Amino acid sequence: MDAFIEWADNVVWSPYLVWLCLGAGLLFTIRAKLVQFTRIPDMIRALVRGGSSKDGISSFQALTMSLSGRVGAGNIAGVAVAIASGGPGAVMWMWIVALLGAATSFVESTLGQIFKERDPRTGEYRGGPAFYFERAYRHTWAGIPLKIYAWIFAVVSVVALGVFLPGIQTDTMSGALTSAFPALDRWMIGVFLAIVLGIIIIGGVKRIAHFTATVVPIMAIGYIIIALIVLLANASEIPAMLRLIFESAFGAHAVFGGILGYAVDQGVRRGIYSNEAGQGTGPHAAAATEVSHPAKQGLVQAFAVYIDTLIVCSATAFLILSTGMFQVETEDGLIEHASNLPDGVEAGAPYTQFALDTVFAGAGTIFVAVALTFFAFSTLVYYYYMAETNLTYAMRNVRSISVQRALLAVLQVVILIVVFYGAMGAEGRAWSIGDIGVGIMAWLNIVGILLIQQPAFKALKDYRAQMKAGKDPQFDPRTVGVRNAEFWEERADAWRTAPTRTPVRSPATAVSRPRCPCAEASPPSLPPSPPLSWSGVVETPLDRVEFPQLQTHSRGDQQIPDPSRQATEALSEVESVGGQHRPSLRAEGAIAVLIMVLLLSREVVRPFVLQQDAGVAISHIP
């Protein structure tokens, strides 16, 4: 079994996936015109001003819910594992993944918002990769293949999130707790976790959102404060530590230059596991949010990547490296061993526990155990939410309500069993099994969003145009050429006909209220229509399209032209070329980039692997 798990891990996490993640992030960064850097103020503004409704959660709740999945065992134990396998240079590659991955997170989260829908059972918003794969180009020849692709992703996600990934969290959490509190047995921890998790997940997405909104900020802030205290106590080591990270990341360090391939692999692998950029998990929380424009939530989720990796993961890395509590080991044997770390300490949470003990003697181990418990448990809660969302999608054609409830109950029981089993100890296989789940999801999601990326960039262009005009962006997919976004079409109609012209929280909440008579004097102003960009068709702004007869909608006793309906009809006419629809997939460019990444990655990675210099034992960091 161990040999099979190792083989599957190596196949999934081949160099092709590493460079696919980096290449996709670079492509999206260029296409989005550095949106993850230029729109940081908008990220904070959307986070602070976003509200919730009875159907959707607020932007802050979505941020904390996605952070509950991102900030987990990977931020404490995962960073230590990356350093142990790839050296200090792995930290630098985690930063690179975060900076590029923020653009990937923006694209996938914006797509999740555009193509979300309302759950008919609960009324809550649902969305994610499976939803946008199916809906993005449902009206084209690509609709059927993408629908099959969406179903495959949903099934894989249920298995990965419900079976493969929880073991890492519970195994790491249980090990840290038993180390801090020797009187505890692993089975006791497993039973307690299963009971508490069961109570929370039965409450639905709102209870999950309230739980994470309370727990995640407190535990993250507390952990960062403690890390800063340790850094101040070791301030003299900071320059050497940063130099060690940068030199090791690019093969310039005398000791760690030979394991550059491991540094890249572990940095990208642990970075994606931690910040989830491109993994396809962030869009689930993004879709559940109440916002006026999809790009707003895309920016919030890009900001979440920064918080996870550049702040929380960096705090752990600095703790370990500044105190020297680490060792670097490859498959061929020991490469480097820091003199400060006792022999026999396994890579993971113990690295961080020993690092904190250098400043808080005896209390560091306890603090890490408690912090890790909250980190990992909130991640388990979010894993279930995403697994439930994908199971809901996979069984959407099941008409029997009793069968749907039975399948959801099976999922709940399975994940609780996995939680208990993981707490008992996965015998070192937890990280490899989890990597397989993360890798498969990343493969499917990144390839998919490369093919259907165009709606996200249309939404971004619309967002920028409205912000430049000094407006609070409101999204109408028909004015930008995005189809199959029924939720947003209904919302735009409700917002347009609302008497006060204030954003409504959902189509169902659009109600009539008494208005001032002067409001009847002029039709409502609409956001400017950006140019269309259909393949093979000359770009023509919608406001220049001549309509033979204006469609109207009623507003009191007055008939007002409805340009959005004309836009929809114009899109249908413009999009049809030679009697057939031609989708704006930009598939040629995306596939070309994918092929280039796959072909070049072997030549780029091969020198790294050949440089591995095994069998050298160093007892101190130069």
- 607 pLDDT band, cuts 50/70/90, is very low
CA–CA gap between residue 254 and residue 242 (Å, rounded): 15
CA quadruple 481, 486, 491, 494: dihedral, nearest 10: 100
Domain contains 591: no
Same domain, 372 and 497: no
Query: Which conformational region is residue 591 in: left (phi greater than 0), alpha (psi within -120 to 50 degrees), or beta?
Result: alpha
Domain contains 240: yes
Q: How far apart are the first and last CA of the chain?
A: 40
Mean local confidence (pLDDT), 535-552:
41
Same domain, 192 and 141: yes
Same domain, 191 and 45: yes
Domain contains 152: yes
Residue 102, Cα to own-chain centre: how many angstroms?
A: 9
Round the CA-based radius of gyration of the chain to a whole number and report it. Answer: 25
pLDDT at 515 (0 to 100): 45
Same domain, 423 and 502: no
Q: Does pLDDT of 149 surpass 90?
A: yes
Helices of type H across 71-185? 73, 79-86, 89-114, 129-135, 143-159, 166-180
**Most trustworthy range by pLDDT among 265-274, 492-501, 603-612:** 265-274
Q: Does pLDDT of 592 surpass 80?
A: no
Contacts of 19 (CB under 8 A, 6+ apart): 597, 598, 600, 601, 604, 605
Mean pLDDT, the chain, whole residue set: 76
Same domain, 216 and 306: yes
Among 319, 336, 324, 323, which residue's Cα sits nearest to residue 257? 336
Same domain, 204 and 178: yes
pLDDT at 204 (0 to 100): 59
Domain contains 18: yes
pLDDT at 500 (0 to 100): 57
Instruction: Considering only residues 408 and 499, tell me which one the structure prediction assigns the higher pLDDT.
Output: 408
Q: Does pLDDT of 552 surpass 80?
A: no
Domain contains 347: yes
The 10s digit of each residue's pLDDT in 298-335 is: 998 899 899 888 988 998 899 888 887 877 765 554 55
Same domain, 444 and 482: no
Cβ(146)–Cβ(445) below 8 Å: no
Instruction: Considering only residues 398 and 610, tell me which one the structure prediction assigns the higher pLDDT.
Output: 398
Contacts of 102 (CB under 8 A, 6+ apart): 25, 36, 277, 302, 303, 305, 306
Provide the domain limits for residue 32: 2-453+596-610
pLDDT at 84 (0 to 100): 82
Token pair recorded at residue 256: 């760690």
Same domain, 275 and 207: yes
Mean local confidence (pLDDT), 407-416:
92
Same domain, 82 and 182: yes
Q: Does pLDDT of 282 surpass 50?
A: yes
Cβ(19)–Cβ(6) below 8 Å: no
**Domain count for the chain:** 2
The CATH number assigned to the domain holding 350 equals 1.20.1740
Domain contains 617: no
DSSP run (H or E) holding 290: none
Mean local confidence (pLDDT), 128-135:
93
The 10s digit of each residue's pLDDT in 66-122 is: 676 677 778 888 888 888 878 888 899 999 999 999 999 999 999 999 999 887 777
Q: Does pLDDT of 420 surpass 50?
A: yes
Same domain, 448 and 476: no
What secondary structure letter does DSSP report for 309?
I
Mean local confidence (pLDDT), 420-436:
79
pLDDT at 135 (0 to 100): 92
Domain contains 461: no
Same domain, 408 and 532: no
Residue for token pair 């909608």: 553
Q: Does pLDDT of 476 surpass 60?
A: yes
Same domain, 335 and 483: no
CA–CA gap between residue 310 and residue 15 (Å, rounded): 24
Domain contains 414: yes
